[in-house]
Amino acid sequence: MNEDEQNHSALLIRVKNPAEPEELKPGDIIEIFRSSCQHWALYVGDQQAVHLITECEHFADGSPNPLAILSERVCVKKDWLEDVVRKDRYRVNNKHDETHPPLPLSKILWQTEELVGKEMPYSLSSQNCENFVMELRYGPEEEIKPGDLIEIFRSCYQHWGIYVGEGKVVHLAPECDRLANGAASVLAVLSDRAYVKKDWLETVVRNDQYRVNNKHDHTYPPLPLTKTLERAEELVGKEMPYNLTSHNCEHFVMELRYGIAMSDQVTEAIAVGTIGMMGVAAAMIRSAAKWRKHYNE
């Protein structure tokens, strides 16, 4: 490390908030606490960060210019992290990692470097420094449209719903879909009945990652949107048979969108032999439960 780099390291140690001890990694999003706002940057390694900056961000004496937020154009700059942070507190804040998987690191860094030096439009409400770094790390925000299939990544399986607009999804959920503490219940796969529910998207997703996945559009033309939405609404509140291998939540939404009940989860599980064991276990547990119920009566 040369003398210049040592000086940068020393200053970083003085500036860093002791309450945020995590080590910076390339691709991390940096939230910087200015006196009246948060500034955002993307760490690219070697103690450097890429961020948006306006020409009038500072006055001649180096103090921040509050009118900078009114600019309509900004420049993408790569600076030493300490020059971006100044004497303000900062922290790593990859706040959407739980719900939106980051892009591959190589892609994040490549597209970030490609933008350095470029001029870009700026808007405080929609094209600001936070929007800029979030798109670099997570990709453009995907607009969810009515009729889209939502794949939700639970701890040991994928749950599926169909988006019907206004922030809500229709999905097939067994009664024991959630434990008392709100966690997803593995026992849900053992149910033989389920209910069609209409819930807020965030309620169904919880803290899990999810994505729009209309994966069969290239092989099966979707049904007319009005037909799909009408059928989904008609089924809300209805009780339906549930079976892990033939009538699960994925079968349900695929039939709504394409008119064909299918589940790649089942196909893949059969290929590796896990579904057979799960099916046998489910049948045994259901049989035992029915016997106990009959015995108690």
Active-site residue list: 159, 171, 249
Q: How far is CA 272 from CA 125, 150, 217, in A?
A: 49, 25, 26
Element (H, E) at 14: helix 3-15
| Alpha helix ranges (H) inside 236-273 | 249-258, 264-272
Q: Which residue has the tokens 């939405």?
A: 229
- Residue 139, class by beta-carbon neighbours within 10 Å (0-12 exposed, 13-18 middle, 19+ buried)? middle
Give backbone dihedrals phi and psi of 227, rounded to 5 degrees, phi first.
Answer: -65, -45
CB 90 within 8 A of CB 20: yes
Side-chain-side CA neighbours of 250 within 13 Å: the count stands at 20
